[in-house]
Amino acid sequence: MKLHFHKYHGTGNDFVMIDDRSHAFAEADQDRIAHLCQRRFGIGADGLILLRNRPDYDFEMVYFNADGRPSSMCGNGGRCTVAFASFLGLISKRTCFLAVDGPHEARVEADGTVHLRMQDVARPKPVGKHDTFLDTGSPHHVRFLPAGLAELNVFAEGRTLRSGPLYGVAGANINFVQVPANPAEPWAVRTYERGVEDETLSCGTGVTAVALAASERGATSPVRLSTPGGLLEVSFQQRGDGGFENVWLSGPTKQVFSGVVSY
């Protein structure tokens, strides 16, 4: 059998994108999804996304991590799926689609910039002097560092925290942030992603968590965040109960190539 696919990235977080409006893709075959995401034996990606028809919405996004398992929300993947829907001619500038964490509004610009509305987020939960937990559609641990982000072994430190007693078997994504001298400057972020089990170049729900947590350390909306894969921006409003609403994640998307794979 032959599978047509497109490859997208959002600030270096890359995805195999499949037009599955016919619902023909065998999503239960997790070994196959993992194989397609392998960087040497497959196409190579941090995750695989199915774009499907969904009554009452423009489309549905179904997300799998590189390990082949379905997971929680992927912010960069959501932005790339909006760009893909625009490429397919399913939407014009504005859309409302369904993802695993509920409905999302989004806007796409002619240059591929996508603005994605995230779900409201509950008040950050401190889990240490420099550490906070937030669920921005996916679970995120945020660790603030005074310095040394560039030299940090994100793989080793992230893997230890991800599988530690705080998060159990389900685990969490681990974000390391360097506090800028001026809170208006970009906040530098590196993320260890569960389900990829490695550092990725960028994580959308991760930078969203960082921006909201950084607001308790002097950052004001919109917060700019620099990842190894590029710049993202998060805007938001804080609620009276310490949670956040009207949360938007914005940044570039790119279709890298298209192809056909035999399996």
Ligand X SMILES: N[C@@H](CCC[C@H](N)C(=O)O)C(=O)O
Nearer to ligand X, 132 or 205 (CB): 205
81 is in an annotated binding site: no
Tell me whether residue 203 is one of the annotated catalytic residues. Answer: yes
204 binds ligand X (CB under 6 A): yes
Question: Considering CB under 6 A, how many residues would be counted as binding ligand X?
Answer: 18
DSSP class of residue 216 equals: G
Report DSSP letters for 96-112, one per residue. EEEETTEEEEEEE-TTS
Count of beta carbons in the 10 Å neighbourhood of residue 40: 5
206 is in an annotated binding site: no
Among 8, 72, 86, 210, binds ligand X (CB under 6 A): 72
Burial of 122 (0-12, 13-18, 19+ CB in 10 A): middle
81 binds ligand X (CB under 6 A): no
Pairing of strands 223-227, 187-193: parallel
CA 255/CA 258 separation, integer angstroms:
8
194 binds ligand X (CB under 6 A): yes
CA 115/CA 74 separation, integer angstroms:
14
CA 72/CA 47 separation, integer angstroms:
12
Among 86, 119, 138, 253, binds ligand X (CB under 6 A): 138
- What mask, x for binding ligand X by CB under 6 A, covers residues 89 to 128? ----------------------------------------
Q: Which stretch binds ligand X (CB under 6 A): 27-35, 68-76, 81-89, 178-186?
A: 68-76
Nearer to ligand X, 58 or 135 (CB): 135
CA 95/CA 83 separation, integer angstroms:
11
Residues in binding site for substrate: 13, 65, 75-76, 173, 193-194, 204-205
Which residues bind to ligand X, rule: CB under 6 A?
A: 13, 65, 71-72, 74-77, 138, 173, 193-196, 203-206
Q: So which residues are the catalytic ones? A: 74, 203
